[in-house]
Amino acid sequence: MLKNADDFQNVWNFPNCVGAIDGKHVPMKAPPQSGSVFFNYKGFHSIVILAVSHANYRFTYLDIGAYGSEGDMNAFSHCKLGKAIFLDQLNFPDDKPRNEVMVPYYLVADDAFPLSKRISKPYSLRNLTKAEIVFNYRLSRARTVVESAFGILSHKWIAVHRTLMCHPDRAKNIFFTLCLLNSLNFVAEYRNIQNM
């Protein structure tokens, strides 16, 4: 997940970023006797895909299967990545000097995630200085890579657009496979073989 850490600097002008993290709710039919555990704040039943994307729109980390009622923050808190970040147990690159200040490497996220040494999120929208406005703009641009990765996934696979009518375990397997195929670019290879 932490390879090519300077790509966000080169592509998005956002230094020390190793990835963008976000969650996506995947619509599914609620299993029998599941109550409201899969019912999310958006008003439908779902499981949560928590993903980290690299600057090139490829997924570098996936956690699939949190209940829709949990939301992004709870899904993050309970996954291996979230626990490792909270305990600072990931093998991030060494801090790098920027304008004579040592700056750690981190993931960019939206307001749903906690601010920490390894997670950077935007400033609140009140009384911002010019520097904070520029920071928010650049962070937003860097963070859109994970949203774009989900968009690319949705564009390639029609299953993402429909409510899955299967057990949550099967839904997890389906979306793990689709995310893997999306990140490995097997789709283009499959189409080339299909057109032969």
Q: How many CB atoms lie within 10 A of CB 66?
A: 24
Closest listed residue to residue 164, CA positions, set 34, 30, 68: 30
pLDDT tens digits, 25-66? 888 888 888 888 889 888 888 888 899 998 888 888 888 888
| CA 39 – CA 70 distance, rounded (Å) | 9
Residue 190 has pLDDT above 50, yes or no: no
Closest listed residue to residue 65, CA positions, set 26, 36, 33: 26
Q: What is the pLDDT of the chain when averaged over all its residues?
A: 83
| CA 18 – CA 141 distance, rounded (Å) | 14
| CA 129 – CA 21 distance, rounded (Å) | 26
Most confident of 3-7, 19-23, 99-103, 184-188: 19-23
Give the DSSP letter string of 61-124. EEEEEEETTTHHHHHHHHSHHHHHHHTT-S-PPPPEEETTEEE--EEE--TTSPPBTTEE-PPP
Q: How many CB atoms lie within 10 A of CB 186?
A: 12
- The pLDDT, as a whole number, for residue 4 is 59
